[in-house]
Amino acid sequence: MGFSKRLHCLRWNSRKTGLQEAGVAVVKRKGATTRPESIGRVLLAWYARSKRDLPWRASSPDPYAVWVSEIMLQQTQVERVREFFVRFMERFPTVHDLAAAREPTVLKYWEGLGYYRRARQLHAAAKQIVHEHGGEFPRTVEGLRSLPGIGRYTAGAIGSIAFDLATPIVEANSRRVIARLVGHAAPLDGPGGDEPIWEIAAGLVPPRHPGRFNQALMDLGAMICTPKLPLCSRCPLASACVAHQTNRVAAIPAQAKRRPVKQVQETAVVLRHGESVLVERRGPGEWWEGLWDFPRGSGTAAKRGRRLGLVTYSVTHHRIECAVREQIMTRRTTPTKAQRWVKVTSLDALAMTAPGRRIARLVARSGD
Ligand code: SF4
């Protein structure tokens, strides 16, 4: 008998999954029960047939590669991570190589991925692994979580994928799949967050092949159970899925109200002396801490000089329009501790903020 016929009733093990506490709606029909083990079996079989081919997936996963890829994948699309991952691993093939590198070099290899705090924490954790753990990753979720930048999700990913720990991981894709599977209609980004989903995920993850199971949930969310127009007719979990069975797929997961976008206007001032320009490093607590950019001007100083163009970018809920002006200097000003005069042709070698890099291109073009 096929999976869809055997699973007439969806009745989760509420003690194991925490489903009751989460107040999640459950579809019940006559007959058998849809147990987490059945979900696991079906999902693992689907994964064996359909998994994505990704450069960090290996038959015996290396915790270092899993870790680097998972940190890169936070806030960044898989397709974009592919090329960065390969380049990063060529330059820092082991945790020892990463620990021995200088921070500007690490940031340079991170440039373009954004959210540079991730790179700094990756670097700090690599040093800790080498100096305090003899170069070996801790093999428990608690041990992994004691490292900088490794939270619940990343510890679960490394633990389950590299060390076969039966621990859940919940990220955007698996969160959506689980919410729909059990019909969890409350917003996951509102109060209470996605804690109920973590509890359900903990009850689903099987003792055998937990890493594959977690990756299968993520792949299903990325390829089949997509945010818009999911392919339920091709989904291996369709017969067990509460959202699908009750026609609520489009409504789950619900979205909390978004913060309104704030418009910000600023001016980047490119001070130029001959072939050199003044750049400054973003300080602690600023967006893009540790990366180079052009100074921002205010008042009349920001209105002087030739306009090179406009760079627009978004950070969190801010939408920023940055006018770029070039001021030709007859002599170099004395740079502050955070500033430096650099040749326009050397800007490529600096780790720069995303808008800084775009301004640098305007500067390079203006000299053509
Ligand atoms: S049946 Fe549809 S909504 Fe349910 S898990 Fe599959 S793709 Fe997602």
State the distance from the centre of ligand 1 to the C-alpha of 196, rounded, in angstroms.
Answer: 18
pTM: 0.71
Residue 190's pLDDT is 63
Which of 7, 173, 181, 229 has most ligand 1 atoms within 8 Å of its beta carbon, as the pocket-test mutant? 181
Closest ligand 1 atom, residue 252 Cα: 3
Report the percent of the chain where pLDDT is more than 90. 68
The pLDDT value recorded for residue 368 is: 61
Work out which ligand 1 atom sits closest to the CA atom of 242: 4
Mutational pocket test of ligand 1: of 34, 232, 242, the residue with most ligand atoms within 8 Å of the beta carbon: 232
Helix H or strand E encompassing 292: strand 292-293
Q: Is the pLDDT of residue 31 over 60?
A: no
The residue annotated as part of the active site, out of 21, 70, 136, 142, is: 70
Look at residue 25 and tell me whether its pLDDT is greater than 60. Answer: no
Rounded-to-integer distance, Cα 84 and Cα 357, Å: 17
pLDDT at residue 9 tops 60 = no
CA of 128 to the centre of ligand 1 (A): 41
- For every residue of 134-198, DSSP letters joined together read TT---SSHHHHHTSTT--HHHHHHHHHHHH--------HHHHHHHHHHHT--S-SSSTTTTHHHH
The alpha carbon of 335 and the centre of ligand 1 are apart by a number of angstroms equal to: 58
In ligand 1, the atom with minimum distance to the C-alpha of 238 is: 1
Q: Whose CA is nearest to atom 2 of ligand 1?
A: 232
Pocket test residue of 10, 226, 249, 252 for ligand 1, highest count of atoms within 8 A of CB? 249
Cα(81) to ligand 1 centroid in Å equals 26
- Residues in a beta bridge with 328: 272
70 is catalytic: yes
> What CA–CA distances, in Å, run from 5 to 2, 11, 38, 237?
6, 15, 12, 12
Q: Whose CA is nearest to atom 1 of ligand 1?
A: 238
What confidence tens digit (pLDDT) does each residue in 195-230 have? 889 999 999 999 999 999 999 999 999 999 999 999
Cβ 24 vs Cβ 192: under 8 Å: no
Residue pLDDT, tens place only, 32-41: 345 777 899 9
Question: For 142-195, how does the pLDDT look when each residue is reduced to its tens digit (9 = 90+)?
Answer: 999 999 999 999 999 999 999 999 999 999 899 999 999 999 988 877 666 788
Helix (H) or strand (E) holding 356: helix 354-366
Domains and CATH numbers, the chain: 3-251 (1.10.340.30), 262-366 (3.90.79.10)
pLDDT score at 32 = 33
pLDDT in the model for residue 27: 37
Residues with CB under 6 A from ligand 1: 177, 180-181, 224-225, 230, 232, 235, 237-238, 241, 243-244, 249
Cα 166 to ligand 1 centroid, rounded to whole Å: 24
Cβ burial, residue 247 (10 Å; 0-12/13-18/19+): exposed
pLDDT digits (tens, 9 = 90+) for 251-271: 999 877 778 899 999 999 999
Higher per-residue confidence, 116 vs 25: 116
